[in-house]
Amino acid sequence: MSDIPYALPDAAGHFGQYGGIFVAETLIPALDELRLAYDEARCDPAFIAEFEYELKHYVGRPSPIYHARRLSDELGGAQIYLKREDLNHTGAHKVNNCIGQAMLARRMGKKRVIAETGAGQHGVASATVAARYGMECVVYMGSEDVRRQAANVYRMKLLGASVVPVESGSKTLKDALNEAMRDWVTNISSTFYIIGTVAGPHPYPMMVRDFQTVIGKEAIVQMPELCGRQPDAVIACVGGGSNAMGIFHPYIGYDEVRLIGVEAAGDGIASGRHAASLTAGRPGVLHGNRTYLLQDANGQIIETHSVSAGLDYPGVGPEHAWLKDTGRAEYATIDDAEALAAFHRLCLTEGIIPALESSHALAHAMKIAPTMGKDKVLLVNLSGRGDKDMHTVAEKSGIQF
Amino acid sequence: MSKIQATFERLQSQGRKALIPFITAGDPDPALTVPLMHTLVEAGADIIELGVPFSDPMADGPTIQRASERALAKGVSLRQVLGMVASFRADDNVTPVVLMGYANPIEAMGLDIFAEAAFDAGVDGVLVVDYPPEEGEAFAQAMNANALDPIFLLAPTSTPERIARVGELASGYVYYVSLKGVTGSAALDVASVAARIPELRAATGVPVGVGFGIRDAATAGAVAACADAVVVGSRIIEEIERSTPDTVCTRVKTLVADLRAGVDAGSCGTPPA
């Protein structure tokens, strides 16, 4: 299928020194059960066929690739292509993974799924698939995020999920993750935990990546059809890093394709108010894996900031940590102002409203395109649509609905 | 012989079981931690588990998380926790102290640097909640190289293979988590705990402490009748939460003395009804 030059993670879930299973003993049986079930499912042709059917008929895949011609012309350099994950059902790449995990939950006989969410996109995707497969769904969400993302909270409730506001710690995504882990360890036999990104204890980073690689696999077929060759660079935003792993991984064996992850610089790296764990963090252990973390000198996890709630996380998937150290992928940063400018520009030049997360990847493409020849090709993973960000953008522009 | 091993041998020769209270270092205030540690000993603690505060205590329930948050709000770091142990040691060179916490503060300091500093401060054992045996080998080596006991968790769901693996790495004692769930959860099922203890003791070759869900003297006694040690955490933190700085030592002393009486009643072979 692919010529990925490495077979990672290893059996213990390690990507070099990263990844692993850093959890309390009480969670080990749940992870063992999950690993065995996934090892079986991923080799089962019936499971794969059903996953592909769901992606096609429920999500609407393959998502198209679109040549942003006006934007490229205005910038006067490399041609920018957009992988349109924003056109998926529920409006982002998150649903690819949720379908895979919900199918696995059903196969394991679990009738209850739980999820953590920051902005609410993974919560909405989880609630969506739970409704689709007739499962009870509980979504943990920091109380601060519940307040900021009222529309998504309502959306989850419409889909039949209960949303539990988390009051501990910084009341944001990382605390929601802690709380979901506690629920899981307490309700292990009945409950499947749908993690939304390529982080957490093994097998999550591998499993979520595998479900998301549909993005890159499609792109590898679509790009030659569209422009006769593979892109010079693939660009994706990185919070936990699932959309980036999904599009990067199938390209890892294509040495001539640069892989560029874009982290959220918030108010600027120098301000300390950002979410750029790979750029400004140090390796450590959080949420079940070893990876780059934003932490203080004493090893306490620090609060992050980004205009985009989906990138507002102090860690990052362990495979990204490994790709950074090996040099196969490079990681850049884009601050809030640059992301917002890219957001507005895509609205006006192409009639596409991107998610603020994806706007980071787009902003980086817009930054480097003018320095490249017109024959060069950049593929940006437009991981989600921006409807959910209306309030944030309006607020930044001083507009009230 | 380590202080922890010596403690268990002494208790065994007396026909008694160990009481291991847990408090979080720096809660409710860094200045109260050392006095509280002495209070625990006066009330009958055999070993002290001292929690190292962490921003994301994933395996703990809300009570211990609040204790962590209070300590962090006062800026308590791992180095300060070691300082507290060192000042405790100025007046008590007998009672074993076990640090309990999460991997990241230790890794941020550096595993070997931490192990040396912990030994110098007078720490006897370390339990890192998110180092299961799979990820715990470097940790166990660093502990062994510095005469510290690496303590590991075991759960009702641990398989015989895992129990054997923990047995290879662990010294001091193993901490059997009696409930599925997090610290501070509902009451435990003593009979199902009792059924597992002989197997755990035989397979690991070290004493077995039981914790999670022990909230009163009666349960402490029932657990003491079968286990080698009884660990109580959330209940003590709750008592700290209900106290003022003036009353905290008195209230904790009363509670722990009561638990002590429960443990002694249980370990004399007369578990309370």
Over residues A255-262, the mean pLDDT reads: 98
Structure tokens at A355: 């998610």
Residue B186: predicted pLDDT: 62
**What is the spatial distance between Cα A239 and Cα A173, in angstroms, rounded to a whole number?**
11
**Is the Cβ of A28 closer than 8 Å to some Cβ of chain B?**
yes
Residue B270: predicted pLDDT: 45
B88 SS3 class: helix
Looking at every residue in chain A, the average pLDDT score rounds to 95
Nearest residue of A to residue B79, measured between CA atoms: A298
Same domain, A217 and A133: no
Residue B181: predicted pLDDT: 63
B145 SS3 class: helix
- Strand A258-266 and strand A233-237: the pairing is parallel
Q: Give the global pTM.
A: 0.95
What are the backbone angles phi and psi of residue A262, rounded to the nearest 5°?
A: -120, 120
Chain A residues inside the 8 Å CB shell of B69: 168-169
Chain A residues inside the 8 Å CB shell of B58: 23-24, 178, 181-182, 287-288
Domain termination site, one of A145, A175, A203: A203
**Is the Cβ of A36 closer than 8 Å to some Cβ of chain B?**
no
Q: Is residue A1 domain-resident?
A: no
Residue (of B154, B145, B263, B260) closest to B206 by Cα position:
B154
**Is the Cβ of A11 closer than 8 Å to some Cβ of chain B?**
no
Same domain, A77 and A226: yes
**Is the Cβ of A178 closer than 8 Å to some Cβ of chain B?**
yes
Chain A residues inside the 8 Å CB shell of B108: 282, 284, 295, 297-299
Dump pLDDT digits (tens) for A287-317: 999 999 999 999 999 999 999 988 999 999 9
Nearest residue of A to residue B128, measured between CA atoms: A24
Q: Which is the catalytic residue, given A63, A126, A359, A383? A: A383
Residue B180: predicted pLDDT: 62
Dump pLDDT digits (tens) for A327-382: 999 999 999 999 999 999 999 999 999 999 999 999 999 999 999 999 999 999 99
**Is the Cβ of A301 closer than 8 Å to some Cβ of chain B?**
yes
Same domain, A217 and A117: no
Same domain, A100 and A144: yes
Residue (of A251, A207, A190) closest to A47 by Cα position:
A207
What are the backbone angles phi and psi of residue B48, rounded to the nearest 5°?
A: -110, 130
> Looking at residue A56, what DSSP letter applies?
I
Same domain, A21 and A119: yes
Residue B183: predicted pLDDT: 64
Residue (of B200, B215, B106, B108) closest to B150 by Cα position:
B106
**Is the Cβ of A315 closer than 8 Å to some Cβ of chain B?**
no
Over residues A171-181, the mean pLDDT reads: 89
Q: Is residue A6 domain-resident?
A: no
Residue (of B122, B141, B211) closest to B173 by Cα position:
B211
CB within 8 Å of B180: residues ≥ 6 apart: A26, A185, A186, A188, B155, B156, B157
Compare A14 and A398 and report the one with higher pLDDT: A14
Q: Do B268 and B222 form a contact (C-beta atoms < 8 A)?
A: no
Tell me which residues of chain B have a C-beta less than 8 Å from any C-beta of chain A. 54-59, 61-62, 65-66, 69, 72, 77-79, 102-109, 129-132, 134-135, 152-155, 157-159, 162, 177, 180-182, 185
Same domain, A229 and A325: yes
Nearest residue of B to residue A177, measured between CA atoms: B58
Which of A24, A178, A295 is closest, CB to CB, to B108? A295
Same domain, A126 and A75: no
Domains of chain B: 3-268 (3.20.20.70)
> pLDDT exceeding 70 applies to what percent of chain A?
99
Q: Kindly report whether the peptide bond that precedes residue B21 is cis, defined as omega within 30 degrees of 0.
A: no
Chain B residues inside the 8 Å CB shell of A287: 56, 58
Chain A residues inside the 8 Å CB shell of B56: 169, 174-175, 178, 286-287, 301
Compare B1 and A245 and report the one with higher pLDDT: A245
CB pairs under 8 A between A and B: 122
Q: Is residue A208 domain-resident?
A: no
pLDDT below 50 — which residues of chain B? 270-273
**What is the spatial distance between Cα B45 and Cα B218, in angstroms, rounded to a whole number?**
17
Q: Look up the domain containing A265 and give its range.
A: 61-91+213-397
**Is the Cβ of A12 closer than 8 Å to some Cβ of chain B?**
yes
Strand order in the sheet with A14-15: A14-15, A18-22, A288-293, A282-286
Please determine, for residue A266, whether its predicted confidence score (pLDDT) is greater than 90.
Answer: yes
Q: Is residue A393 domain-resident?
A: yes
Which CATH number do you get for residue A331? 3.40.50.1100
Domain termination site, one of A158, A182, A203: A203
Q: Do B188 and B212 form a contact (C-beta atoms < 8 A)?
A: yes
What are the backbone angles phi and psi of residue A200, rounded to the nearest 5°?
A: 95, 180
Strand order in the sheet with A136-142: A162-166, A136-142, A112-117, A191-194
Same domain, A161 and A219: no
Q: Is residue A152 domain-resident?
A: yes
Nearest residue of A to residue B180, measured between CA atoms: A186
- Strand A282-286 and strand A288-293: the pairing is antiparallel
Compare B185 and A322 and report the one with higher pLDDT: A322
Long-range Cβ contact pairs of A251-255 (< 8 A, separation 24 or more):
A251/A216, A251/A219, A251/A220, A252/A4, A252/A5, A252/A6, A252/A323, A252/A328, A253/A2, A253/A3, A253/A4, A253/A5, A254/A220, A254/A230
- The total of structural domains in chain A comes to 2
The neighbour count for residue A44, using CB atoms within 10 Å, is 13
Helix A356-368 and helix A336-350, axial crossing angle in degrees, nearest 10: 90
Domain termination site, one of A203, A230, A254: A203
Residue A168: predicted pLDDT: 86
Same domain, A33 and A71: no
Half-sphere exposure of A141 toward its Cβ, with a 13 Å CA cutoff? 32
Residue A170: predicted pLDDT: 81
Please determine, for residue A318, whether its predicted confidence score (pLDDT) is greater than 50.
Answer: yes
Dump pLDDT digits (tens) for B73-90: 999 999 999 999 999 999
Over residues A137-142, the mean pLDDT reads: 96
Q: Is residue A8 domain-resident?
A: no
Q: Which is the catalytic residue, given A116, A319, A338, A357? A: A116
Chain A residues inside the 8 Å CB shell of B105: 298-300
**Is the Cβ of A293 closer than 8 Å to some Cβ of chain B?**
yes
Same domain, A67 and A160: no
What are the backbone angles phi and psi of residue A331, rounded to the nearest 5°?
A: -125, 125
Nearest residue of A to residue B64, measured between CA atoms: A168
Please give, one letter per residue, the 3-state secondary structure of A22-33.
ECCHHHHHHHHH
Please determine, for residue A118, whether its predicted confidence score (pLDDT) is greater than 90.
Answer: no
Q: Is residue A327 domain-resident?
A: yes
Greatest distance between any 2 Cα atoms in chain B: 49
Based on the residue annotation, tell me whether A358 is a catalytic residue of this protein.
no
Same domain, A111 and A79: no
Dump pLDDT digits (tens) for A349-363: 999 999 999 999 999
Based on the residue annotation, tell me whether A110 is a catalytic residue of this protein.
no
Same domain, A146 and A254: no
Residue B61: predicted pLDDT: 87
Compare B76 and A147 and report the one with higher pLDDT: B76
